[in-house]
Amino acid sequence: MIYFDKVSKIYPDQSVALDSVSFSIEPNEFVTIVGHSGAGKTTLMKMVIAEDRPTQGAVFFESANIHKLGKGQMNKLRRRIGTVFQDFRLIANKTIYENIAFAMEASGRLDSEIKSDVPHVLELVDLSKKIWNFPHELSGGEKQRVAIARAIVNQPDIIIADEPTGNLDPINTLEIVKILRKIHKLGTTVILTTHDKDIVDEVCGRVITMERGKVIRDDKHGKYVL
């Protein structure tokens, strides 16, 4: 489904974020990418949503080279990928409802669909009561659950979660991981990056370990080894 072909990323200051990384991700996998800070996990995620471009190599989504897509195609691709970030990235001056509705509007969904789907997806992350609140009125864990709700509302093929629990306490972390597993069970591919050992052990799926821009381990049923 996603294929990294010898992808390297060298920043203008000559620091190497990715060094000839190759691997592929199959549909309906739950992949955890682990590594220390600066190992290249976030850069890898940015490549998938074309927020960043590789210096060398290519990233394919199905058969399409992500970085060679036109603007319109790119927008369509992004609507098939749900993204969750460590810093939540909610739109500050929109309510929770509007934040999620915006993602649906962007993919051209009907008003009637938005009206029925938004409350439904908020129920899924247990935030129905906060539907008319603004992001700054929510706790970190709640914000992240909104971000997940936004990521899944368009029923994407893949969820990319880049250190989604980095800013959360252990209880909220567990909650987020539970939700991600639930989404995975419903048939969505999940790519999760983390440096939290407990999460890796909890998920108990495929684990890709990165160090200094390189993939050093790729285990089918991995444990946290670093």
Partner 1 sequence: MIFTNFKRIIKSGFINFWRNGFLSFSAIVVITVSLTVFGALIFGSAFSRALIKEIKNKVDINVYFTLDAQESDIFALRKTIEALPEVNKVEYISREQALSDFKEKWKDNSLMIQGLEEIGSNPFPAALNIKAKEPSQYAGIATFLDSKGATSQPGLNIVDKVNYNQNKLVIDRLGRIIPAVEKSGTIIAIIFIMVAIIMVFNTVRIIIFTAKDEISVMKLVGASNFYIRAPFVVSGIMYGIFSGIFTLGILGVFAFYSDAMIVKFSGVQGVNDFSLLANVFSSYFIQNLGQIFAIIMGSGIVLGAISSYMAVKRYLRV
143 binds partner 1 (CB under 8 A): no
CB of 50 to partner 1, least distance (A): 8
Q: From 27-35, 77-85, 191-199, 210-218, give the range in contact with partner 1 by CB under 8 A.
A: 77-85
83 binds partner 1 (CB under 8 A): yes
Interacting residues of 50 by C-beta distance below 8 A, sequence separation 6+: 66, 67, 69, 74, 77, 78
Task: Decide whether 20 or 167 has the Cβ nearer to partner 1.
Answer: 167
Residue entry with tokens 């946290």 = 224
- In the region spanning residues 170 to 209, those forming contacts with partner 1, defined by CB under 8 A, are none
93 binds partner 1 (CB under 8 A): yes
3-state SS record for 59-119: EEECCEEHHHCCHHHHHHHHHHEEEEECCCCCCCCCCHHHHHHHHHHHCCCCHHHHHHHHH
- In the region spanning residues 97 to 136, those forming contacts with partner 1, defined by CB under 8 A, are 98, 102-103, 105-108, 110-111
Residues that bind partner 1 (CB under 8 A): 49, 51, 71-72, 75-79, 83, 89-94, 98, 102-103, 105-108, 110-111, 150
